[in-house]
Structure 1
Amino acid sequence: MKSMVVGGIILIIALLAGTWFAAGDAFSSDDYISSLTLLGAVAIITIVVFVALKYVNQMKNDTASGELAEEKWDGIGEYKNPIPTGWGLAFIGTIIWMFWYFTVGYPINGFSQIGQWNEETLEYNAKFEKKWENPSEETLQAMGQSTFLVQCAPCHGVDAEGINGKAHNLTKRFEKDQVVHVIKNGANNLKTAYPGGMPPMMLTEEADINAVAEYVAGGFQGEQPASYAVCAGCHGMDGKGMAYVAPNIREYDDAIVMAVLKDGKKGNIGAMPSFEGRLNETQEKALASYLRSIGE
């Protein structure tokens, strides 16, 4: 046992020396929190080492004793022994120390740089929302352009025409291959705004698919094909959609842009991730306004 105690003391010294070597500069400041931290490190290392030594010694030398409980599992019984006194005192002491630390040592209602930053951020956001509560269309477009250049341009390009086929051309509401893809594969990822989604193959004839795709991609110009009637049931004859049923396929209205930003978008050339939480509602509407302006 003496050799174990000596070994434990050596281990404690080595651990404390390692702690000081790794973080000694932090402990040398006048901040009492650093001193508390060092004191806590000394206490934890000392307690852990000697508790470990105590139970290692018990496992080597002690024998089980006491009154056996009646319950047994696979012939193995348990003794009705009380918890170790040291463990119980350490458990209660830890709880007491926790309350002391949170109320006196480092009170949770004290100054915090993170708390100050959060308060200033909330205050700024409130001022921002109030300032831009009712912006004009011109202001929205200017704000939307700035938002687009930061959030969207890395994939769609600064001119919004896409980069090497990795993102859709946003100067057009649709291109023909996009419409063909949606007709054949459906579109069911905008669950928040349009929970019903669109099933695949609403049109089955290639001639009808191509005719509708050309008409929609062409901005609803020219003679409307008869097969578009299948689409009009949800999107409307003018293509402006219905709330909670089908999106506007004629222009980038606020609803479709906000839905795509929230849920992401899967298309014929890849998938766009959700941008939920990155923009506030005013910025989302501004982005929609800007996209409409560059498509005109």
Structure 2
Amino acid sequence: MKSMVIGGIILIIALISGTYIVAGDAFSFGEDYINDLTMLAAIAIITITVFVALKYVNQMKNDTASGELSEENWDGIGEYKNPIPTGWGLAFIGTLVWLFWYWTIGYPTSGFSQIGQWNEEVNEYNARFASKWENPSNETLVAMGESTYLVQCAPCHGVDAEGINGKAHDLTKRMAKDQVAYVITNGANNFPDVYPAGMPPMMLTEQADIDAVSSYVAGGFKGEQPAAYAVCASCHGADGKGMAYVGPNIVEYDDAIVATVLENGKKGTIGMMPSFKGRLNPTQEKAVAAYIRSLGE
């Protein structure tokens, strides 16, 4: 038994030393009590685990079963009516005590938190940003939108916004003919907060009507308006500039449709654009819209 204890102590020292070598730079010992508490907990867990393991190894080697057998047995194997091990019972009660302590007092809800500090700094920065750019000019929005676009949008749409040879939507024009035809045939996203009704598929069923309307919309609403466009005008308006909470602007990239797509993503004939929700603030979304509109100009 003596050799086992000595071996256990050596094992504890080795495990604690290994823990400190791997994560010791995270512990300031007095500057951040959360990290100190974590290190103490690691030492306690290592020590208890090793000695409990040694205790039961010693019992398995030296103890013999004794006590009163219970009446129930399974295939001739019965259980003794012995009380639970004292150490196990104390450990169980200690775990419950620690649980309630951690829930009520120990959890650092009012202590330092790196995530909390980061959130505070981000919120403070966003407040300063919103205050500084509360009423930006269009020139300022275009410049801001360009820098935002080059970081967030250019990897897919290209630096020139032409869609990298059809791999993404060409943002220099509102819509291409095949994209208009795709939406007419397949419907469009249902954005519950902005356009709750969405657009059902097959609003037009005749291929000639689909071709005529697609050419008219993709052409920038120039020339004679097809009679079939009356079906579209009920939601998008006769001029195509949309109706609030009904249908988006299909003439140009207005602030509403750009913000909606950035926050919700968009499925189209090319593929699925992911949501950028949380990555841009409202001013940046408005700036991106202004920049995209400037490309068409």
TM-score between the two structures when normalised by the length of structure 2: 0.80
Distance in 2 (alpha carbons) for counterparts of 1:190 and 1:28? 50
The structure-2 alpha-carbon separation of the partners of 1:62 and 1:10, relative to structure 1 and needing over 3 Å to count, comes to farther
Q: Work out whether 1:136 is the aligned partner of 2:129.
A: no
- Give 2:16's aligned residue: 16
Q: Would the aligned equivalents of 1:173 and 1:250 in 2 still touch at CA under 8 Å?
A: yes
How many angstroms does 1:79 deviate by? Answer: 8.1
The structure-2 alpha-carbon separation of the partners of 1:50 and 1:285, relative to structure 1 and needing over 3 Å to count, comes to same
Is the contact made by 2:196 and 2:245 (CA closer than 8 Å) also made in structure 1? Answer: yes
Moved more, 246-255 or 198-207: 198-207
Between 61-70 and 221-230, the greater mean CA deviation after superposition: 61-70
For the Cα contact (< 8 Å) 2:190–2:199, is it kept in 1? no
Q: Provide the secondary structure at the position in 1 that maps to 2:258.
A: helix
Change (3 A) 1:133 1:117: same
One-letter code aligned to 1:215: Y
Going from structure 1 to structure 2, the CA distance change for 1:35 and 1:157 (only over 3 Å counts) comes to closer
Cα root mean square deviation, aligned: 3.7
Q: Could you tell me whether the CA contact under 8 Å between 1:190 and 1:264 is conserved in 2?
A: no
CA deviation vs aligned residue, 1:219-266 (integer Å, no higher than 9, x gap): 101000111112122222111222222211111112211111111111
2:278 and 2:131 map into 1 onto residues whose CA distance is: 19
Match of 1:224 in 2: 225
**Cα distance between partner residues in 2 of 1:59 and 1:289:** 77
Aligned to 1:203: 204
SS at match of 1:226: coil
Aligned to 1:183: 184
Counterpart Cα distance in 2 of 1:80 and 1:31: 51
**Structure 1 gap ranges (5+):** none
Aligned length: 293
With the length of structure 1 as denominator, give the TM-score of the two structures: 0.80
Corresponding position of 2:268: 267
Match of 1:246 in 2: 247
The 3 A distance-change label for structure 1 pair 243 and 38 is: closer
* Other structure's SS at 2:167 match: coil
Letter in 2 for 1:238: D
Q: Structure 1 vs Structure 2: percent identity of aligned residues?
A: 73
For structure 2, the 5+ residue unaligned runs are none
Contact 2:190 2:197 in 1 (8 A): no
Alpha-carbon contact 1:247-1:256 (below 8 Å) kept: yes
Contact 2:146-2:291 within 8 A present in 1 as well: yes
Q: Output the amino acid matched with 1:206.
A: Q
